[in-house]
Amino acid sequence: MTMTGRCLCGAISYEIEGELQMCGVCHCKNCQRQAGSAYSVLFGVGDQDIAISGDLTTYDDHGDSGNVVHRHFCGKCGSPVMTTLPTQPGMAYIKAGTLDDTSVLDPQIHFWTRSKQPWVETDPDILQMPR
């Protein structure tokens, strides 16, 4: 499967060759702030499966565990594009809204539901993880 995507201004683009490893929705406060929304939808791919064009800017965030979370975004338009975790080498988590065709996505899990906005409803048939 080939998937393509880009940031809002087009300075960053990517092509993915391969299968999605996972698709999930994160409700943590940092993802809410970073996305400027109630949650962040992301999907995982192997580093070897993605080719990125353009120069990403990186912000080193920290999760509740204290572990580093690298948040990569376009330095021109500010679009969040990808997250990487040193604790999960070889994986990249792509922000779903940057995909050209999101019809391939099917979230299987909701993370950090303990900080989910009270007005957001989730499908009870999808795995919910409070942390």
Q: Report the percentage of the chain scoring pLDDT > 70.
A: 100
Q: What pTM value is reported for the model?
A: 0.91
Q: What is the pLDDT of residues 58-79, one digit of tens each?
A: 999 998 788 899 999 999 999 9
Distances, alpha carbon 97 to alpha carbons 20, 41, 43, 54, 62, in Å: 15, 7, 10, 18, 23
* Strand pairing report for 56-62 and 40-46: unpaired
Segments of the chain with pLDDT less than 70: none
Q: Identify any residues that bridge with 83 across adjacent strands, giving them in sequence order.
A: 71, 93
Q: What is the pLDDT of residue 48?
A: 95
- Any idea what the CATH number is for the domain that residue 73 is in? 2.170.150.70
Any domain includes 115: yes
Task: Write the secondary structure of 63-100 as one string of H (helix), E (strand) and C (coil).
Answer: CCCCCEEEEEEECCCCCEEEEECCCCCCEEEEEHHHEC
Number of domains observed in the structure of the chain: 1
Any domain includes 129: no
Which is nearest to 3 in space by CA: 75, 105, 88, 91? 105
Give the residue ranges of DSSP H helices in the chain.
Answer: 29-35
Q: What is the pLDDT of residue 80?
A: 97
Q: Which residues contact 21 (CB under 8 A, 6 or more apart)?
A: 43, 44, 45, 46, 91
Contact present, 48 and 34 (Cβ < 8 Å): no
Residue 29: both structure tokens together: 């406060």
Q: What is the pLDDT of residue 93?
A: 97
Any domain includes 40: yes
Residue 62: both structure tokens together: 């920290």
Q: What is the pLDDT of residue 99?
A: 97
Q: What is the pLDDT of residue 39?
A: 96
Domain hosting residue 31, numbered range: 2-124
Q: What is the pLDDT of residue 100?
A: 97
Any domain includes 131: no
